[in-house]
A = this chain, B = another copy of it.
């Protein structure tokens, strides 16, 4: 007998048929004698529909407290429906809102952090052998106001419950059956991994392989919660995410592509000290998130600085730089949205030299031009032309994984 936490996303409970599918998965484990806590998101497009209603009232953005009040209704609907379906199938179930499940957060509406969980009510219900269905994504601050954890917050809710209750396993159900070495829709030879480390998962998530929310992986790592990513549509084992993988390590654990990249190039900067500080300080003030930074070697007393941002922040970034003409001398600043970032991730990289050259060889063989390179301990990213991205992923993937 184990304590299992299961999390289902919005698409898994989008309609009555899927709600019953989820209910059956839950009941199967419950009937084996396990204690089951389920975390669900709002149904399908509910959250988007509610956001649209708010936009109608205030197109420039309503207060975050009221947005949280509004959005929390979404999970409230889905937990009630799922509990009804479980009961309809003959098993006892109790739905709990975030605050009823004991989620206490700080007061940062729309991006609240969980401060602590008091799982007493959950435990009481489990002691009565009831299945507990908890609203993900939401909590309560010290003023008794509803808060939300931000998009993807339901993953975090599930991991937080698993951590606070010392659950044996936290299962994240999605529409894929695990974590792959690359996007299986794009790379025919992509392989499902049986196990992956937290660190690798974090790098993959930040590279656009949006299987798991990053905050939830960080929390799982911090509290040692064993995760499993698996399919809500097929009954088969998924991918286990944990501290150390016991199986033989592959050199790399995944290849990811991110098209939502804009490269900002500032050309002809005065090659004087403090230039980079000025630029990135200004961008931080403008709340522009920088990903990769590349600085060319100075030449003729000038240098170039290149960095990447998400495409929706490109315009802001360019404007912020242009506004610095009085304190900064440079020739031009421009944004290029036609690039992609292709990355490989693998804990094995740290101990195996030659990974980078193998990646570059794959790209060279495929006749793909590398525009920029950025590396970290367990990751290598290259910027290439967007139109080459899918070919690049396949070429790199097949070089490392067969």
Contact = CB atoms under 8 A, between A and B. Distances in A.
Interface of A: 16, 19-20, 50, 53-54, 56-58, 62-63, 65-67, 69-70, 72-74, 76-77, 79-81, 83-85, 87-88, 94-95, 97, 100, 121, 144-146
Contacts of A54: 80-81, 84
Contacts of A97: 69, 146
A73 B70 contact: no
Contacts of A146: 97
Contact of A53 (B56, B81, B87): B81
Nearest to A19: B57
Nearest to A15: B56
A23 B54 CA distance: 15
Contacts of A19: 57
Nearest to A54: B84
Contacts of A81: 53-54, 57, 70
B95 A66 contact: yes
A88 B16 contact: no
B67 A80 contact: yes
A63 B84 CA distance: 7
Given A66-B87, A69-B80, A73-B73, 11 more contacts: A19-B57, A57-B84, A58-B85, A65-B94, A69-B76, A69-B83, A70-B84, A73-B76, A73-B77, A100-B145, A121-B144
Contacts of A144: 100, 121
B80 A70 contact: yes
A341 to B, nearest CB: 38
A41 B227 CA distance: 42
A53 B77 contact: yes
The 6 closest A-B pairs by CB, nearest first: A70-B80, A62-B84, A73-B73, A69-B80, A16-B56, A73-B76
Contacts of A80: 54, 66-67, 69-70, 73
A19 B54 CA distance: 11
The listed residue with most B CB atoms (<10 A of its CB), out of A19, A67, A81, A87, is: A81
A45 to B, nearest CB: 14
Contacts of A73: 73-74, 76-77, 80
12 contacts: A16-B56, A20-B57, A54-B80, A54-B84, A63-B83, A63-B84, A66-B80, A66-B83, A69-B80, A70-B77, A73-B74, A73-B80
B88 A57 contact: yes
Contact of A62 (B63, B67, B74, B87): B87
A84 B58 contact: yes
Contacts of A58: 84-85, 87-88
B85 A57 contact: yes
B70 A76 contact: yes
A121 B62 CA distance: 22
A85 B97 CA distance: 26
Contacts of A63: 83-84, 87
Contacts of A72: 76
A185 B146 CA distance: 44
The listed residue with most B CB atoms (<10 A of its CB), out of A16, A77, A121, is: A77
Nearest to A85: B57
A93 to B, nearest CB: 8
A114 B33 CA distance: 39
A64 to B, nearest CB: 11
A57 B56 CA distance: 31
Contacts of A79: 69
The listed residue with most B CB atoms (<10 A of its CB), out of A16, A57, A70, is: A57
A69 B72 CA distance: 12
A144 B140 CA distance: 14
A221 to B, nearest CB: 33
